[in-house]
Amino acid sequence: MTKSVIQSMAIVVLALGIACSHDTPTSPTGASSTTLAARSAAAAPNTSASATPIASADHGASDKDHGSSDENTSELEGVITAVDATAHTIVVRGTTVSVPAGAVIRHGHTMLTFADLTVGTRVHVKASQSGATTVASEVNVQSEDRPDDTATGVVSALAGTCPAVTFMAGTTKVSTTATTRFTDGTCAELANGVTAHVKGARQADGSIVADRVFFEDNDKEHVRANGTVSGLAGTCPALTFMAGTTKVTTDATTKFSGVTCETLANGANVHVEGTQQADGTLTAARVRLDMPEPNDDHETDHMEGTVSGLAGACPALTFSVGTLKVSTSASTIFRGGSCGQLANGVRVEVTGMSQADGSVGATRVTLDNDGSR
């Protein structure tokens, strides 16, 4: 009985010594209490573990603090093997990933939607763990062979300045950039009422950023005329001229290709489409500059390079491509941009005729927007 009481008292003293050492670790009293408790514990048989939980609880709290760093995020990369449109989940490398409405889905700088995530698409996922569920915060589409989205319709609500314009193609909003390529026309020829076919990347808001814009002419009743311009008169947009033996008039709705209303000149070979009036005059819907055919007196040259030494005013410019001097005229056809968009540092492809002085008279200049500057 006495021995048990002594052992209990020793344990109590030990506990009091530990408590005091936390409050006053440098006090002489705390040191004496600790020493006394240690001596008492050493003298007593180890029949009670009452002191052990106090120390263990203290160490346990310390371990928890050291393990509190955020290890809840993860990244996953691979090919999508399954898509559940109802649950808004995808499966990547055997892991089911939830893609909430607030998750960012993109391909480069192009914003996408969940509908763009299809089986076979390679993605990089940034996610966090919510219980047993992997929840995506960002999905980066890495596949570079995504099919283009398309839209076809009559252009309306045209706004902006080339090369950055916006318009509606039917019911689809379309925007263009400096890298957009135009076929059978230029950005400057885009107008309300024109039928256009667009290919590009669908955005999160449903619009399309156009990679290509194709002009379409569905008017079966247009009359066509070809010939050399003569008798040019009037002020843009209202011009009159002869195309061969056909009298032609233009107005604000006339579209020009390869030449502008302002740069059209006598001597240019043109192809005109429009509506024939009762007096035989052709009201032009489109005037296209025809490329002159190569002849035996000149050699056709072809070169690629960067523009330097640009001088003159459209349509009569001079510039160098490498060591070759190039000149343009009213009959030069521009592709991928207009004469006014030509600048030093722009990469071009030039086709033309060798001149007696060794220069090249350009019949076609193609601006490479992707390689410019």
For residues 37 and 81, membership in a common domain is answered with no
CATH number where 100 lies: 2.40.50.320
Residue 159 within a domain: yes
Residue 294 within a domain: no
pLDDT at position 35, please? Answer: 43
Percent of the chain with pLDDT over 70: 73
Task: Name the pTM for this structure.
Answer: 0.29
For residues 327 and 274, membership in a common domain is answered with no
**In whole numbers, what is the pLDDT of the chain averaged over residues?**
76
How do 73-84 and 110-111 pair as beta strands? unpaired
Q: Nearest CA to 160 among 107, 210, 106, 214?
A: 210
- State the virtual CA torsion across 11, 16, 17, 19 in degrees, nearest 10: 130
For residues 245 and 197, membership in a common domain is answered with no
Residue 295 within a domain: no
- Residues 284 and 257: their CA atoms lie apart, in Å, by 12
pLDDT at position 146, please? Answer: 52
Domain stop point among 173, 199, 216: 216
Contact 129, 74 (CB under 8 A): yes
Position 174 pLDDT exceeds 80: yes
What would the mean pLDDT of 90-118 be, rounded to a whole number? 88
For residues 364 and 307, membership in a common domain is answered with yes
Contact 144, 160 (CB under 8 A): no
Position 63 pLDDT exceeds 50: no
Q: Which of 12-21, 99-108, 123-132, 185-194 has the lowest mean pLDDT?
A: 12-21
CATH number where 327 lies: 2.40.50.140
Domains in the chain, number: 5
Q: Which pair of tokens denotes residue 215?
A: 């002009």
pLDDT at position 353, please? Answer: 81
Residue 133 within a domain: yes
Q: Which pair of tokens denotes residue 353?
A: 């005729």
Q: What's the length of the chain?
A: 373
> What is the domain extent for residue 43?
2-64
What would the mean pLDDT of 265-292 be, rounded to a whole number? 82
What would the mean pLDDT of 59-72 be, rounded to a whole number? 43
For residues 268 and 315, membership in a common domain is answered with no
DSSP string, 240-297: EEEETTEEEE--TT-EEESS-TTT--TT-EEEEEEEE-TTS-EEEEEEEEPPPPP-TT
For residues 341 and 363, membership in a common domain is answered with yes
* Residues forming a β-bridge with 84: 89
For residues 197 and 245, membership in a common domain is answered with no
Domain stop point among 183, 216, 249: 216
Residue 258 within a domain: yes
For residues 367 and 305, membership in a common domain is answered with yes
pLDDT at position 27, please? Answer: 42
Contact 204, 112 (CB under 8 A): yes
Question: Does 312 or 332 have the greater pLDDT score?
Answer: 312
Would you place residue 48 in the very low, low, confident or very high pLDDT band (cuts 50, 70, 90)?
very low
Would you place residue 57 in the very low, low, confident or very high pLDDT band (cuts 50, 70, 90)?
very low
Q: Which of 11-20, 184-193, 222-231 has the lowest mean pLDDT?
A: 11-20
Domain stop point among 199, 216, 233: 216
What would the mean pLDDT of 191-218 be, rounded to a whole number? 81
